[in-house]
């Protein structure tokens, strides 16, 4: 279902039983008729009333409105503070350590094995899993750049049937750059995919810059992408947010 604004209300168009190719997806996201809501031609002030009902109360217009990271544990802000084991959602989990040198990911047995100038990711997984393999994550996952700056905090809800994540990315200053939420079955085949995600990006002053939403199941696909209050095709949304991140972390590999 593709959302467009017409005659003062949101109308959905469903494409049943088939996948829409990338080009058709972009064309389908261009509003056919634009009312007083999300504008299609110039920057526009965000207005909660412009969104369809199922998104209206999920939008955060400032970074301060974003819910806090689900687990508040200052020990995890530094790699050295991560306990070797932690019980999360009643499940005993082991700490996993992955490091990157250029594009090569390496599973480490301990932080002492990390070489200088490498990116680092720590997370927890079931103790029964292999030490160098993550099923999908369970609880917190933090990532640091090669300079030791925290770049991302991801939370995997401790649910054995569904994969629900809360993703927080940061400017080098520590201010929130992006927040996203995703919900899908934890174990599903390659196709057709069933999922729902909601993503927001903020400027350095904490004001909402961009918003993306998509819900996919075997019968339909709903989506909405916007930049500075303007509804845009997915390709434009992806390009603009990629440039935003690249400017926030220049020179990062």
DSSP codes, 115-178: PSS-EEEEEEEETTS-TT--SS--EEEEEE-TTS-EEEEEEE-S-SSEEEEEEEEE-TTS-EEE
CB neighbour list of residue 59: distance below 8 Å, 6 or more residues apart = 46, 48, 51, 200, 208, 211
- Identify which of 133, 153, 157, 131 has the alpha carbon closest to the alpha carbon of residue 144: 153
pLDDT tens for the chain, 253 residues long, are 334 433 333 333 333 333 233 332 333 333 323 333 454 445 678 999 989 999 999 999 999 999 999 999 999 999 999 999 999 999 999 999 999 876 777 889 899 888 888 899 999 988 877 655 555 678 999 999 988 999 999 999 998 888 899 999 999 999 999 999 999 988 777 776 899 999 999 999 999 999 999 999 888 889 999 999 999 999 999 999 999 998 988 766 5
Rounded to 5 degrees, φ, ψ at 44 are -145, 140
């Amino acid at each position: 279902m593709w959302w467009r604004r017409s005659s003062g209300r949101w109308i959905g168009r469903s494409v049943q039983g088939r996948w829409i190719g990338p080009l058709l997806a972009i064309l389908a996201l261009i509003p056919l008729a634009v009312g007083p809501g999300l504008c299609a031609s110039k920057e526009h002030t965000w207005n909660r009333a412009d969104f369809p009902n199922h998104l209206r109360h999920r939008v955060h217009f400032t970074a301060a409105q974003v819910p806090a990271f689900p687990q508040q544990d200052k020990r995890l802000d530094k790699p050295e503070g991560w306990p070797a084991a932690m019980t999360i959602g009643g499940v005993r989990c082991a700490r996993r350590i992955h490091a990157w040198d250029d594009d090569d990911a390496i599973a480490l047995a301990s932080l002492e094995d990390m070489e200088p100038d490498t990116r680092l990711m720590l997370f927890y997984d079931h103790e029964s899993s292999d030490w160098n393999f993550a099923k999908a994550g369970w609880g917190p996952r933090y990532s640091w750049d090669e300079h030791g700056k925290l770049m991302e905090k991801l939370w995997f809800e401790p649910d054995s049937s569904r994969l629900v994540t809360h993703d927080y990315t940061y400017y080098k200053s520590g201010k929130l750059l992006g927040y996203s939420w995703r919900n899908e079955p934890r174990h599903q085949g390659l196709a057709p995919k069933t999922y729902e995600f909601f993503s927001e990006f903020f400027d350095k002053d904490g004001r909402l810059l961009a918003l993306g939403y998509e819900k996919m199941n075997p019968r339909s696909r709903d989506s909405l992408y916007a930049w500075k209050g303007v509804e845009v095709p997915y390709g434009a949304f992806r390009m603009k947010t990629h440039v935003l991140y690249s400017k926030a972390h220049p020179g990062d590999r």
